[in-house]
Amino acid sequence: MRSNNIIFSVLLMSVGVREIEPSKDAMKYITSGFVKVLEECKKELNMNDHIIADLFHYWKLDYTLLNRDTGCAIICMSKKLDLLDVNGRMHHGNAREFALKHGAGDEVAGKIVDIIHDCEKKFERDDDECLRVLEVAKCFRTGIHELDWQPKVEVIMSEVFTEI
């Protein structure tokens, strides 16, 4: 009886791990996709190192994102990846396709789009698009952390450097 409980527990844990790991992998590849267009935006926006530091530390909840220019950089990268509609809001279909193309399953891609959409609804300001996007990005980061899907920065950087 006791060995059956142990086997059942191991099976249950392995199912849980299989659900979390693909989500973390997808977030790693999605983030890497953004980093690939960073260099273009860095030149276009004449970004300095503090923006690069903000983006490098993006997934760390204890790192405060306060710089408006970080929001502008996220807009630039999102435009280059065709993730925004004509109003500057997330294009749901393109965002979903981007997530799927970068390793997310249907459920994970749908959840990512839902989180961003919910965050956009919370931050509807029109006076400063860069600040709005910065707030949406912070909200998204929190939502991904709540699901424990955040990628490790070191893993993302090794992926990016491998492709360079």
Mean pLDDT split into 10-residue runs, the chain, 164 residues: 38 33 66 76 88 85 89 94 93 94 90 96 89 95 93 61 48
Angle among Cα 16, 19, 21 to the nearest 5 degrees reads: 105
In words, the CATH class of domain 21-163 is: mainly alpha
Enter the pTM of the model: 0.77
The predicted pLDDT at position 156 comes to: 56
Distance between CA atoms of residues 16 and 3, nearest Å: 20
5 burial level (CB within 10 Å; 0-12, 13-18, 19+) = exposed
pLDDT at 29: 67
Find, among 136, 150, 133, 163, the residue nearest to 31 by Cα.
Answer: 150
| Cα–Cα distances in angstroms (integers) from residue 26 to residues 20, 102, 150, 163, in the given order | 10, 6, 10, 17
> What b/e readout covers 89-115, taking b as 16+ CB neighbours within 10 angstroms?
bbbeebbbebbbebbbeeebbebbbeb
SS3 152: coil
Cα–Cα distance for residue pair 103/101, rounded to 1 Å: 6
